[in-house]
Amino acid sequence: MALSGSSTDFISKPATPSNVMTFGAVGNGVTDDSNILGNIVAPQKKSEWKSSNVDTWIAFERINGLIVNGHGKIDGRGQAWWTEGNLNTSFESKGTIVGSPRPTALHFFQCNNLQVDGLNHINSQRNHISITNCNGATISNLHISAPETSPNTDGIDISGSTNIQILHCNIGTGDDCIAIIGGSSFINISNIACGPGHGISIGSLGENGKSDQVEEVHVKDSSFTATKNGVRIKTWQSSAVKISDVSYTRVQGTSINAAAITLNCSHTVPCTNIILDHVNITSTDPKQPTHADCINAHGSSIATFPPVGCLLK
């Protein structure tokens, strides 16, 4: 394992090789694993990075059976990235500051049968954790936090991945607690405490008419506390995006915005089999009622508030 950057603990400049057995790896030739027991701290200033044009701080790529656990802290010290220059918030260049992308703090790419458990992750430069093109992952017992004013600091982003479980996590950031992006399927999310942030979202998908697909996403037994969005599906209009078999079950909480449930699907390709079962999201302001918005979303709702009369059969 090689970690690069500058820090008070494990990460120093220039890149420093580390023996994973020092941090708890089994070393049996079968399992790839490591404990994070101390603190991993990012450089405090952009000038301390080897390059300001980086897209990832810590990356694990093409490792099967990787286990990352422990009760240590990963501190992205993202404040220097949040406040510098002008933030471009368009989807394709989301997270760009003055022409340079802000780094994802922890990225797993093509890591199959992955396990991540018990970490405390704070103040990422951009999104805290990205799971990309992975098959089989269990993410559990994480505490992820950043100020609600920190831009684009998603808790967990999932793209192009399948058979992913996210369990028993507390996530409060300046953007989506969990975002499911294109090419993902069989995503099971349960016992998540989300807030502040933008809720648990599917999207944004299909910009510039691109085709994409998300299916079999199931969220249950979770709560939102003062999130900007609660339940949200967002696709670009006139796109060829297929979203199907999505359920929210026993989800409750409060929303800052009046639109507590947003199911905005493409006019071209509808969302199908969207199920809301015992969802209850009220407003943080007792004087402001919540409501649901839909575009071309088909499915059903059971014992759900606000009522989702816009959901098509």
Task: Quote the CA–CA distance of 112 and 66 in Å, as a whole number.
Answer: 8
Q: SS3 for 207?
A: helix
Cβ atoms of 265 and 237 closer than 8 Å = no
Q: From the candidates 198, 218, 291, 298, which is the catalytic residue?
A: 198
Residue 309 CB-density burial (10 A; 0-12 exposed, 13-18 middle, 19+ buried): exposed
Alpha carbons 254 and 305: distance in angstroms, whole number: 11
**Cβ neighbours of residue 132 closer than 8 Å, sequence gap 6 or more:** 107, 108, 109, 110, 159, 160, 161
Q: Is 198 a catalytic residue?
A: yes
Strands (E), 199-270: 200-205, 211-227, 231-235, 240-255, 259-264
Collapsed DSSP state (helix, strand, coil) of residue 76:
coil
Cα 205 to Cα 151, 202, 210: the distances in Å are 19, 8, 8
Cβ(116)–Cβ(71) below 8 Å: no
Nearest to 137 by CA among 78, 189, 176: 189
- Torsional sign, CA 125, 128, 129, 132: negative
- On whether the CB atoms of residues 176 and 202 are closer than 8 A, the answer is no
What torsion do the CA atoms of 11, 17, 23, 26 make, to the nearest 10 degrees?
150
Q: Which amino acid is at 177?
A: C
Active site residues per annotation:
198
